[in-house]
Amino acid sequence: MATDIKLFNSNDENAWCPGCGNFGILNSLKKAFSELDLLPHQILISSGIGQAAKTPHYINVNGFNGLHGRSLPPALGAKIANKDLKILVTSGDGDTYGEGGNHFIHNIRRNLDITHLVHDNQIYGLTKGQGSPTTAKGQVTTMQLDGVRVDPFNPLATAITMGATFVARSFSGDVNHLAHLIQEGMKHEGYALIDILQPCVTFNKVNTFKWYKDRIYKLDENYDPTNKMEAYKKANEWGDEGIPIGILYRNEDATSFVDRIPHLRDGKPLVDREWKPLDAKKFMEDFR
């Protein structure tokens, strides 16, 4: 039985450009939540700054909109406080791989049980089109008029190398495919990274819907996502040779961050435990 998808609709005015790939991601989120039979109060979406980071405003669930590159720390704090909450992070390639790069790396080490959706449009959309960490070398932007001079960051290869336990890629133009990956990521007990190819119709005139559709292909049923070396090879496929989408790597044997800490793993979530100020006072006196 699915939840009525209309429960996740928001009345906030949407500021995304017409045709933006973010709309496909928003629809995929609603579809995934509905098919998982979740209710709005069971979900938290954390974000930073950017066009992608406006997502919490446009969907009826708990939301936290924070600082640029700081979408992961609030998600960590919320998961520690309430381990039963379904937590997702939605932010862009700049917010995640640029300003939030350190948080990205160390969250992989923690294996926090959250689903991280990166709206990867290969450009800074909010700040008017300069190159992001994933912009191709040589691509002309509104700031790099003679072309980007540095090599692009490969988030999926980095995540696999660092030991991430769920690494996937999807395309905002395929709502059903993305909704399925979001569900799989939310079912995974650990950190689930989903890099989403998302055209920016205003500022990225290279990586368009057609550019992606001409190159993406779905990993077939014979592909083994538990093979780490094969996953690394797939993560390095890009451009005219083809761009694989699907679950590149999955490891279900690793322990998530909360389950590594006995007093968090066992018993009630912290938010449901009785608060006793006198116990806290005694605890502090032990340090004297």
| pLDDT interval class at 276 (50, 70, 90) | confident
92-115 average pLDDT score: 95
- Closest to 77 in 3D by CA, of 281, 276, 270, 277: 270
For residues 117 and 89, the answer to whether their CB atoms sit within 8 Å is yes
282 pLDDT more than 90: no
For residues 95 and 68, the answer to whether their CB atoms sit within 8 Å is yes
213-247 pLDDT per residue, tens: 999 999 999 999 999 999 999 999 999 989 999 99
Other Cβ atoms within 10 Å of 287 Cβ, number: 5
132-191 pLDDT per residue, tens: 999 999 999 998 999 999 999 999 999 999 999 999 999 999 999 999 999 999 999 999
- Closest to 195 in 3D by CA, of 230, 234, 240, 252: 234
| pLDDT interval class at 273 (50, 70, 90) | confident
19-46 pLDDT per residue, tens: 999 999 999 999 999 999 999 999 999 9
Q: pLDDT value at position 44?
A: 98
pTM of the model as a whole: 0.94
Domain extents for the chain? 5-285
Report how far residue 52's alpha carbon sits from residue 30's, in angstroms, rounded to the nearest whole number: 15
The amino acid at 199:
P
86: tokens are 């379904």
Choose which CATH entry (3.40.50.150, 3.40.1400.10, 3.40.50.970, 3.40.50.2300) describes domain 5-285: 3.40.50.970
Q: pLDDT value at position 272?
A: 87
